Amino acid sequence: MSPRVSDDTAAPTRPTRRRSSTRAELVRAAEALFDETGSASASVEAIVARAGFTRGAFYSNFATTDELFFAVYEAQEAVVVERLEDGFRAALGTTDPQSVDAIVSGVLGGLPPEGKWYAIRSVLLSRARHEPELRALLRAHTDAFHAALEPLLVESVTAQGRRLTVAPDVFTRAVVAAHVGAVSQTVLYDDAATIRVAAVRGALLGLSEPVREPDGADDTDDTDDTGGTA
């Protein structure tokens, strides 16, 4: 009997697909539990029960629940970066190029208004204080996030005829920090959207300035039409 080449060659890809699917389901289950409880302390048993898997399936994909919740944060971060890119492009294409509102729209259109992303991040930050490996991992991802956002912000500021008064990385982190602080007011203030706009706009205007023409650039010609002096 001739060998079943097609079956043999296809087989190695199946475990990879199954594992990828299992991992995604575990991430969704952890995210759902976080939504319900507001805590990243769900047990392995609760997570696998929610996802419909066994403990073995969990440990085939993650070493700890911290690692799983970091994957939840990482997945949300990827969505945020994509939304930021779309938001900046759309805002700059439709808004008055002389208005800083274009940049504000880009930031608010990309950074999530809901607190979940920041809540998970806060939990991870708290644990990272005592876990060097988690701290290094979280810092690397945070640096990567700011690195992705920085050129979008700088390009947008330049397009509005403004220039930064601080280093680009400081500017980027300050804008994000302003937004994070505003989002934290969601449960304390009814009109949280107004706070978000004011905080981001304040950071943008406070850390940039209009580009002024060199002295004398706008001086009018002192000669008359005949070539003589006026």
Whether residue 82 is found in the same domain as residue 135: yes
- Give the phi and the psi of residue 11 in degrees, each rounded to 5: -55, -45
- Tell whether 6 is covered by a domain: no
What average pLDDT does the segment 84-100 reach?
69
- Tell whether 33 is covered by a domain: yes
> For residue 53, what are the contacts with CB-CB under 8 A and spacing of at least 6?
22, 25, 26
Whether residue 85 is found in the same domain as residue 97: yes
- Tell whether 183 is covered by a domain: yes
Instruction: Report how far residue 24's alpha carbon sits from residue 165's, in angstroms, rounded to the nearest whole number.
Output: 43
DSSP 135-202: HHHHHHHHHHHHHHHHHHHHHHHHHTTEEESS-HHHHHHHHHHHHHHHHTTTTT-TTHHHHHHHHHHH
Whether residue 28 is found in the same domain as residue 133: no
| Overall domain count for the chain | 2
Mean pLDDT in the chain? 80
Give the pLDDT of residue 106. 80
Give the pLDDT of residue 41. 81
Higher-pLDDT residue of 18 and 120 is 120
Selection from 10, 11, 21, 120 nearest residue 61 by Cα = 21
Whether residue 119 is found in the same domain as residue 151: yes
| Segment (H or E) for 99 | none
What average pLDDT does the segment 37-46 reach?
86
- Tell whether 89 is covered by a domain: yes
- Residue 112 class from Cβ within 10 Å (0-12 exposed, 13-18 middle, 19+ buried)? middle
Give the pLDDT of residue 4. 42
- Tell whether 4 is covered by a domain: no
Higher-pLDDT residue of 207 and 105 is 207
Whether residue 58 is found in the same domain as residue 75: no
pTM above 0.75, yes or no: no
- Tell whether 229 is covered by a domain: no
Give the pLDDT of residue 3. 40
What average pLDDT does the segment 164-188 reach?
90
Whether residue 87 is found in the same domain as residue 118: yes
Instruction: Report how far residue 39's alpha carbon sits from residue 47's, in angstroms, rounded to the nearest whole number.
Output: 12
Look at the block and give the residue holding tokens 């043999």: 8
Whether residue 88 is found in the same domain as residue 186: yes
Instruction: Report how far residue 40's alpha carbon sits from residue 38's, in angstroms, rounded to the nearest whole number.
Output: 7
What average pLDDT does the segment 46-71 reach?
93
What average pLDDT does the segment 210-227 reach?
60
Whether residue 58 is found in the same domain as residue 71: no
Higher-pLDDT residue of 8 and 132 is 132
Whether residue 92 is found in the same domain as residue 196: yes
Whether residue 123 is found in the same domain as residue 141: yes
DSSP 194-214: HHHHHHHHHHHHHTEEEPPPP
Q: Is the pLDDT of residue 222 over 60?
A: no
- Local confidence band at 118 (pLDDT 50, 70, 90 cut-offs): confident
Q: Quick one: what percent of the chain has pLDDT higher than 90?
A: 30
* Contact between 176 and 149 (Cβ < 8 Å): yes
Whether residue 132 is found in the same domain as residue 30: no
Comparing 8-17, 74-83, 153-162, the range with the smallest average pLDDT is: 8-17
What average pLDDT does the segment 176-180 reach?
90
* Contact between 53 and 14 (Cβ < 8 Å): no
CATH of the domain at 28: 1.10.10
Give the pLDDT of residue 5. 39
- Tell whether 56 is covered by a domain: yes
Look at the block and give the residue holding tokens 């070539």: 227
**First-last CA distance in the chain:** 105
- Tell whether 225 is covered by a domain: no
Range of the domain at 37: 13-62
Whether residue 198 is found in the same domain as residue 131: yes
Selection from 91, 87, 88, 37 nearest residue 65 by Cα = 37
Higher-pLDDT residue of 96 and 132 is 132
One-letter identity of residue 152 = L
